[in-house]
A and B are shown apart, each in its own frame.
Chain A
Amino acid sequence: MQTDAAWVFLKDEVVGFAKSRAMLIMWIVIPLVALAGYLLIGGSLNMGSGGEKVELSATQFMGLLVGGFAGTVAALIVAVDLVAERNRNVYVLFAVRPFRREIIIYTKFVAVFGCVAGACIMAMLIGLTADAVRGRAITAAVMSDVGTSLLKLSLTIAISAAGGVMAGVMARSIVVAVLLVLYLWQNFAMIPNIPLYFRVSNHWLYTAIPAVLIAVFVLWGANLFKKAQL
């Protein structure tokens, strides 16, 4: 019964999020705008301290762009959705049915993570396609970079969504939930990128810490939701 309930919920949440306005923007608008932006800047950005131009592939450009906001979007989607649905008494009708209430939280987290990560993968694939069309060689090194970027991006999205769960469960109003996401929980989303910012070499540590934090946040949020008075 619990497995059935989790499956029913997961299916519904994925469909619900995938068709939401926020996700439609992530699916379609962002990759197209990013691609257009890349073509406009001509494949290079002023990034160095001396203002020198750095050549970027379309894949790298897409990764930078979606990596910049995918986590925040995931956190906001989860937090706002949880608060709004709770305030509309949506969970009351779920909570009076014979299954574990925490399943609502687990499936919401998985659905948002899946949808946002899926949108990011799609953006990267568009970048790869654009690079291939423009004659850039898709070498093993490029694919390795893409893989590493996706892993970091996935961790960022997951830890952000987990923070969104905490904000959504703790807050009673959307404004408070948004503030909690932006000024508290989003700080944790930097952890997977610490090696990049500070040129630290032990990547495994900065992969393990977010993984543990994700589990802690989601389980903690689910437990709070289980005890919440609906």
Chain B
Amino acid sequence: MAEDLVQIRGLTKTFYGRAVLADVTFSIRPGEVFGYIGPNGAGKTTTLKILAGLIGGYQGQVLIGGADVATERARAHALLGYMPQAAGFQQWRTVDSALDTLGALSGVPADIRRKRIPELLERFDLLDARRKKVKELSGGMTQKLALVQALLHDPKLLVLDEPLEGLDPPSRSLLKTIIRERQRAGVTVLFSSHILSDVQDVADRVGILHNGQIATKGAIRDLLSTFGLPVEIELELAVAPPDLAFVHAAGPARELKPNQWRIEVLAPDADTDAIVHTLVEKTLAGGGRIRKVGVAEPELDELFAQYLRRAAGGQRAN
């Protein structure tokens, strides 16, 4: 089995005596997409900045491709493409000049830069802005430019800090496509995001950071079962039968909107297929018509909310 590309062991960082990160440990396999989530101020950006070699003075070990970020910075940086939460460019530069310099500093030969820069700009719909000064770009365009510079040197590891923030829906969709493409090309991606549905769309595994500690990590599906989130059945009727008692008999039902319910399956070993079957049968028998029925997969948002509720409960108990 290939060695983990990213290894973070016992990472602890304090700012002015306050521990921002406390013994954070996790690793990411080559070709994996790892979503790093957590509430504001949890320490996500600090972790990513340490990984990118922007913050020093920490305890623990941070390795990229076996190179220690603290002592072998250049070797680690050669593997890294980093997109910060708020990227800045020198205001006097044009888009082209900014990318050309950053590419040159990453060691991309001039002939490859001449080919790759327009290709990437076109992909992100920025080709027309190529000769524009960076200061003339909108926030979303600057965000896309920040992503382009991270991809310029075809890095083995992409570290993206809130990459979806400020992007319009087409750009978000494009970014997710690019993350999947990069993954297929063997690139490892570590990204933080508040938009959990997007994390769920692309991440193979997630790590939840809370109060500076990795609360839990793993594949999303495994985490959902670990957290014991209730299985729910979603039922939407095109025409509702006059008597809806059977809906409430199946379990505690929340009405999401008229004629649409989420029914919680209480017993852990309950036969959800049988419950779905009963719902279908009773609806049809009562003269109703079904638009949609099935088991609703819990969302990462719910898992995260559940985790925070538990953490808050635990803190109160302490």
Contact = CB atoms under 8 A, between A and B. Distances in A.
B90 A96 contact: no
Given A95-B53, A96-B53, A227-B56, A90 B105 contact: no
A199 interface: no
A89 interface: yes
Contacts of A90: 88-90
B55, B78, B80, B92, most chain A CB atoms within 10 A: B92
B102 A93 contact: yes
A26 B78 CA distance: 40
A1 B88 contact: no
Contacts of A5: 104-105
Interface residues of A, number: 24
A8 interface: yes
Interface string A112-151: 0000000000000000000000000000000000000000
A95 B54 contact: yes
A12 B101 contact: yes
A230 interface: yes
Given A8-B105, A98-B106, A98-B107, A92 B84 contact: yes
B109 to A, nearest CB: 11
B92 A20 contact: yes
Nearest to A8: B104
A93 B74 contact: no
Nearest to A16: B92
A19 B102 contact: no
A98 B53 CA distance: 11
Interface in B76-95: 77-78, 80, 82, 84, 86-93
Interface residues of B, number: 32
A20 B107 CA distance: 28
Contacts, number: 78
Nearest to A85: B90
A89 B87 contact: yes
Nearest to B52: A96
Given A8-B105, A229-B54, A229-B55, A96 B88 contact: no
A4 interface: yes
A99 interface: yes
B149 interface: yes
A97 B87 contact: no
B90 A16 contact: yes
Interface in B46-60: 49, 52-57
A94 interface: yes
Contact of B101 (A8, A92, A95, A227): A8
A198 to B, nearest CB: 42
B56, B73, B90, most chain A CB atoms within 10 A: B90
Contacts of A227: 56
B74 A4 contact: no
A16, A88, A89, A92, most chain B CB atoms within 10 A: A92
B110 to A, nearest CB: 11
Contacts of A9: 101, 105
A19 B55 contact: no
A96 B88 CA distance: 13
Given A4-B104, A94-B105, A96-B53, A89 B84 contact: yes
A5 B74 CA distance: 12
B91 to A, nearest CB: 8
Contacts of A93: 82, 84, 87-89, 102, 146, 149
A99 B84 contact: no
Contacts of A20: 92
Given A5-B105, A95-B54, A89 B90 contact: no
A230 B88 contact: no
Nearest to A5: B105
B39 to A, nearest CB: 22
B301 to A, nearest CB: 29
B105 A230 contact: no
B74 to A, nearest CB: 4
Instruction: List 6 A-B pairs, minimum CB-CB distance, nearest first.
Output: A88-B88, A89-B88, A98-B74, A98-B77, A97-B105, A96-B82
Interface of B: 49, 52-57, 73-75, 77-78, 80, 82, 84, 86-93, 97, 101-102, 104-107, 146, 149
5 contacts: A93-B146, A93-B149, A95-B54, A96-B77, A99-B105
